[in-house]
Amino acid sequence: MVYAIHGCGVCSRCKVDKPTYCLNRVRKAIGFTEDGGFSDFVTVADVRMLMRVPETVAMDTACLLPCSGLTAYNAVMSVLNTVEGFVKDHGVPEDCAVLLVGAGGLGLWAVQIARAMLPDGVRVVCADKDVNIIV
Ligand SMILES: [Zn+2]
């Protein structure tokens, strides 16, 4: 699997695998600013852009992870400490819930990731202004 976003590769943030925060403001994205995307083959600038896909993960699932999967994962991880702190201080009351806004591709990824990563008992609620469903 190819991580699609990369920066300059030499600044302190790129060197710790934080290319989206590149200090030189280099924003390269395969399929957007660089050739690739839905290609069968693509040239990558750095081996750190490659990730091994476990055999248990289907390729049609793995191909979605570098962009939408990581975006949703990052969103869930951004609230993890807050939710864990709340649960530590208050336990898991039955009204403890995390609301995810948007039930499109990213939102549905986030629902699955939140269920896997957030403390047991925390409800994961997903709402969308255009869809009358609650996941
Ligand atoms: Zn950089």
Give residues whose Cβ lies within 5 Å of ion ligand 1.
Answer: 7-8, 11, 14, 22, 24
What is the pLDDT of the chain when averaged over all its residues? 87
* Side-chain-facing half-sphere of 16: CA atoms under 13 Å: 4
What pLDDT is attached to residue 134?
A: 58
Give Cα separations from 83 to 35, 69, 80, 90, 127 (angstroms). 40, 21, 5, 10, 19
d(CA 21, CA 135): 33
For 25-66, write each residue's pLDDT tens digit. 888 888 778 887 777 888 887 787 888 999 999 988 888 888
What per-residue confidence (pLDDT) applies to 131? 64
How far apart are the CA of 5 and the centre of ligand 1, in A?
11
**0.75 surpassed by pTM:** no
**What does the pLDDT look like over 103-118, one tens digit per residue?**
888 999 999 999 999 9
Please, where are the H alpha helices in the chain? 12-15, 59-62, 70-90, 105-117
Ligand 1 centre distance from Cα of residue 22 (Å)? 4
Q: Is the pLDDT of residue 135 over 60?
A: no
